[in-house]
Structure formats: structure tokens, C-alpha cells
Copies of this chain bind each other. A is one copy, B any other.
């Protein structure tokens, strides 16, 4: 620091230097010390929710107990469809040539959360679809959805997870089950608005599908995936998130060529 500067500015610059260091620590340290982690993931078990036509989750025991070597050992095998439990839908699931799950950049799976709560509307109508008006109402309160956000729709249906009839509208399997599906989702017009009028990284919700249960054309999937916006389905605990301010980290199993896969999704909710 030049000694020719007047004393005030020398001291001020010294303080600014400390300040920059301090900011750097904050920005780079990411110690997550002030706040809490929230798991937005349902565990995989025999009751995990799968599409009526999909292979459900199975875990089988390889070994469990004392070994001749003198140590305890337990190990299991597992098998499932990609699209069940808390999972990621990769764009290639409904759009040829788009990203498979291992191709989605990490930067797209990590970002600030925007949480839109439509649980009152779905309580009145379990086939409710998130509308453009719902998004605009949220923006009226909280401002325009920031570029780079991860959009999470809280339908309130996570509270039914574990009770398949309440959650999906049916316990039937196969094509008959598909016909009786009933749960909320994202209206295709809202999907179009999200994909073309806003710049978000990914969309998630607490139902089995981005499209509502009665959809047959899966237009919201197609629209979002055309724009390489992946989806998170059967997400848990969205009621624990504030409308803005949380950071979402959504890490899927890295299946080569996968159209999706099991997802561990968590959020950091900053303290006050």
C-alpha cells in the first residue's frame, strides 16, 4: 500500500482488504453453518410408488450375519424401474435425442429454489393442474422467478405418500390402474410458460408425474423436455421450504443412457 496516501484512505483500504477476505471466506467457504439441511427424498422400500405398469422396487438379501472370518457382514441386491420413488425424469424420457440422465450438467441440478404452493387448490380438486395464473400470482408476491432457479410445485400430495390409493387415486396395477390415476400436475400451458418465458434449470413436484394423473398425451413432459428441462417426481417435504431462499441439490444415480433414475434431492434452508 503506497505510504503517500492520506491516512484515512490508507486505513479505509486496509479495512476494505479485510472485508474482501471476509467476503471471500463466506462465498467460497460454503460451510452451511447457519441453516439446516432438509431431505426432500422418500426412502426406497417395498411400498415405494411406481407407475401401475412399472417394475416396483425390490431388495433381496445376499448375506446378513456373522461370517466365518469373524466379522459381521450384510449386503443386498436391488432392482427397479428408473421411474419410481423419488426420481428424476431425464429429457430423453419423452423427447428423442435429448439428454439422458448422466448427461445433465451438475450446474443444472443445483440452484436456488422457487416453491409454489398449490395445496389449497388440490385439496378442493385432486385433478388440479398448476396454471400460468398460479405462477403469475406467485410472481406478484415474490417477484419474477429468477433465471437459474429450480421450480418446485408443492401440491401437498407428499402427505399421502405411503397410501397409494390417496396418492395416485388407485391401487390397481397394469393398464386398468393407469385409467384410474388421479393426482395433480402441471398444466401444459404452464409448462410452456415455464419453458419459454422463464429460464429455469429444472422442475419438481410431489406427485408421480409432471403431467396430472388423467393426462394421456403427457404434453407437459414433452414441452419441458423439448427445452432440456429435467423433472423431479415424488419429491418429499416441500412444505418445509420457504417460497424463496433455499438451495436445492438434486443428484440422480448416474445411469449411462438412463431416461431417469433414483434421485437424492436435498435442500439447504438458511437460518435467519
Contacts and interface: CB of A to CB of B under 8 A. Distances in A.
Copies of the chain in the assembly: 2
A28 to B, nearest CB: 4
A137 interface: no
Interface in A34-70: 34-35, 37, 39, 41-45, 54-55, 59, 62, 69-70
Given A26-B26, A256-B43, A78 B75 contact: no
A124 interface: no
Contacts of A72: 94-96
Q: Which of A45, A69, A73, A76 lies at the interface centre, i.e. has the most chain B CB atoms within 10 A of its CB? A: A76
Nearest to A105: B37
Q: What DSSP secondary structure best describes chain A's contact surface?
A: mixed
A34 B44 contact: no
A45 B102 CA distance: 11
A93 interface: yes
Contacts of A16: 15, 19
A82 B77 contact: yes
A93 B74 contact: yes
Interface stretch (A152-160, A196-204, A243-251): A243-251
